[in-house]
Structure 1
Amino acid sequence: MIICCTSIVNSSYWKNSIKNPMVQVVFQDNHASQKAQIYWLHQVLVQLKTKYGVKAYNAVGHSLGANDIVNQALKYGHDKHLPTLNKIVTIGGPFDGLTGFLSTQTESTVRQLDVKPGRFTKHFSEMLKYRHNFPGNVKLLNVYGDTNTGYNNDGFVGVASARSIRYLLRGKLAQYQEAFYSGEQAAHCALNQNPSVAHKMIAFLW
């Protein structure tokens, strides 16, 4: 995932000439539990504020990284030791797990349905409990894809699962946008390398 620092004061690390520095967060143990990853991300954000003077940030996450960003904000949304979260870009986030992976509905039908999941996974139900913690005035761009192979997913994450974040954060966001991609460039591991996604993300963030 990427942390984009949008407001910095008294930094002893970055040069004043650097605008909006980016921090790539890569977990050494990417098979650790999500609970551990959320805690590690929280510690990174605390350090960015206390040690480097970061006052506000944007966050970009792909796949489980998207889940980590959202869950960190849900769990620690009111922590005063954190910089202010402005914007989030989620790419192929399995927010309601892999439900709908073998869907027989067409893509157009899925996109017209209510974003409320047909059934809640244990993970999604847990996230719902922390809705009240989510910080205010956050804008979110949700990117998801369908490889057009008849299963309404990007090869790993179902369209309905990726879109369920809209239901999760209903009434909590200052702005919500969706960006849908289809075909080979919409495959789960191709989405974050898709130039169109990059342009959309840059326009949204900056």
Structure 2
Amino acid sequence: MFKRILFAGILPCLSVVIALFALTQLNGSYEKMENQQIPSVFIHGYKGADRSLHGMIRRFDQKYHWGTDSLVIRVSTSGKITESGHYRKSAKNPLINVVFENNRASLTQQALWTKKVLLFLKQQHGIMKFNAIGHSMGGGAFISYLAAYEKNENYPQVNKIVFLGVPFYPEEYINGEESIALKNAPMIHTKFAKKMAKILPKDIQIMIVGGDILDGTVSDGVVSLSSVLYGKQLFTEQPLKVHIVKGREATHTNLHELPQIDAYIGHFLFSNSK
């Protein structure tokens, strides 16, 4: 009886100790974060909302102290831009959440809005360089921006970019959430990769993060792993890091909630070490 009582008393304390140890290990791994004062711009995926990536933004600010939750930029269906929050150039790694009111718009439309938002950030806040984090179709919008405007001095330039659960096969995102069948897909993929290699800037650091829920589909439940890894063919000229998270929690809509992925992104964007 005494042993059971003793064990019952020790178990909660042990759980607290383990949790504290895990937290100190996490914080210790990223204690040398740089205050680069380069803003990071987050764009959600198809059917996304402000809450899609704001949880990650809050953790980066309040839990890890890697950056500063600064602005929410909203784009109406007509393309009107409104902002809330406060942006300070001197803030530690400002974090900006971009939200499209029409979250089911085509990639072409989202790419145009993305261009408009980034021009707005330059004109209103003097932002000349930024980090980009795109989840799913939001990553597609950033690819379009890189291809069309990265070399245009009138627009802000990308410093680093994170593609989180992004389908790189064009047939998987060109028609929203519905994939289209391509004849001779391998040949088209090869030609597309060669074309993008010529267009995309070579000095941008890139990270790809994907998920595999290990249910036999070799996907995160929405995006195939082969489509995620096709990004390696697109970015042959750029410094590239790739992380694949495996397990039941690595679902498409849960990728931006996983501590392991927080660590990958934080280290890539803000750490002193390589």
Q: Is the TM-score greater than 0.5?
A: yes
- Whether 1:150 aligns to 2:216 is yes
Q: Which residue of 1 aligns with 2:42?
A: 2
Distance 1:133 1:165, change over 3 A: same
Any unmatched runs of 5+ in structure 2? 1-40, 44-56, 58-66, 68-85, 174-184
Q: CA separation in 2, counterparts of 1:66 and 1:84?
A: 16
| Residues 184 and 120 of structure 1, relative CA distance in 2, 3 Å threshold | farther
Alignment pair present for 1:31 and 2:95? no
Aligned equivalents of 1:36 and 1:200: distance in 2?
A: 30
Q: Is 1:193 aligned with 2:257?
A: yes
Question: What secondary structure does 1:18 align onto?
Answer: coil
Identical counterparts, % of pairs: 29
1:179 aligned partner, one-letter code:
H
For 2:249, what is the secondary structure of its paired residue? helix
The answer on whether the counterparts of 1:50 and 1:81 sit within 8 Å (CA) in structure 2 is: no
Query: Partners of 1:199 and 1:68 in 2: how far apart?
Result: 24
1:126-145 alignment runs, 5 A limit: 129-145=195-211
Quote how far apart the aligned CAs of 1:51 are.
Answer: 2.0
The residue matched to 2:88 in structure 1 has which SS?
coil
Measured after TM superposition, the shift of residue 125 of structure 1 is 5.9
Match of 1:159 among 225, 228, 239: 225
Query: In the superposition, relative to structure 1, how do residues 16 and 31 fare at CA in structure 2: closer, same or farther (>3 Å)?
Result: closer
SS at match of 1:51: helix
CA separation of 1:71 and 1:131: change in aligned 2, threshold 3 A: farther
- The alpha-carbon deviation at position 16 of structure 1 amounts to 4.7
Whether the 8 Å CA contact 2:132–2:142 is kept in 1: the answer is yes
Give the structure-1-normalised TM-score.
0.78
Which structure's CA Rg is the greater one? 2
1:8 match:
none
Aligned to 1:102: none
Cα RMSD, aligned residues only:
2.5
Shift of the alpha carbon at 1:77? 2.2
Q: Distance in 1 between matches of 2:42 and 2:131?
A: 8
1:37-82: per-residue Cα shift (whole Å, max 9, x none)?
A: 0011011111111221112100001111111111211122211111
Total equivalences in the alignment: 178
Quick check: 2:136–2:166 contact (8 Å CA) kept in 1?
yes
Which residue does the alignment assign to 2:154? 81
Matched, 1:202 2:266: yes
Structure 1 residues 16 and 48: CA distance shift in structure 2, 3 A? closer
Structure 1 consecutive aligned stretches of length 4 or more whose deviation exceeds 4 Å: 124-128
Provide the C-alpha distance between the structure 1 equivalents of 2:261 and 2:125, rounded to a whole number of angstroms: 30
Question: 2:196–2:234: 8 Å Cα contact kept in structure 1?
Answer: no
Note if contact 2:161-2:207 (Cα within 8 Å) is conserved in structure 1.
yes
Q: Does 1:170 align with 2:250?
A: no
**Is the deviation greater in 56-65 or in 162-171?**
162-171
The reply to whether residue 95 of structure 1 matches residue 168 of structure 2 is yes
Residue 246 of structure 2: aligned partner: 182
* Distance in 2 (alpha carbons) for counterparts of 1:130 and 1:178: 18
Distance 1:37 1:127, change over 3 A: farther
Q: Which has the higher helix share?
A: 2
Structure 2 counterpart of 1:181, which letter? V
Is the 1:75–1:130 Cα contact (8 Å) retained in structure 2?
A: no
Question: Do the aligned partners of 1:78 and 1:133 also contact (CA within 8 Å) in 2?
Answer: no
Deviations along 1:116-158, whole A, 9 cap, x unmatched? Answer: x84546xx96675454332231011100011101111110111
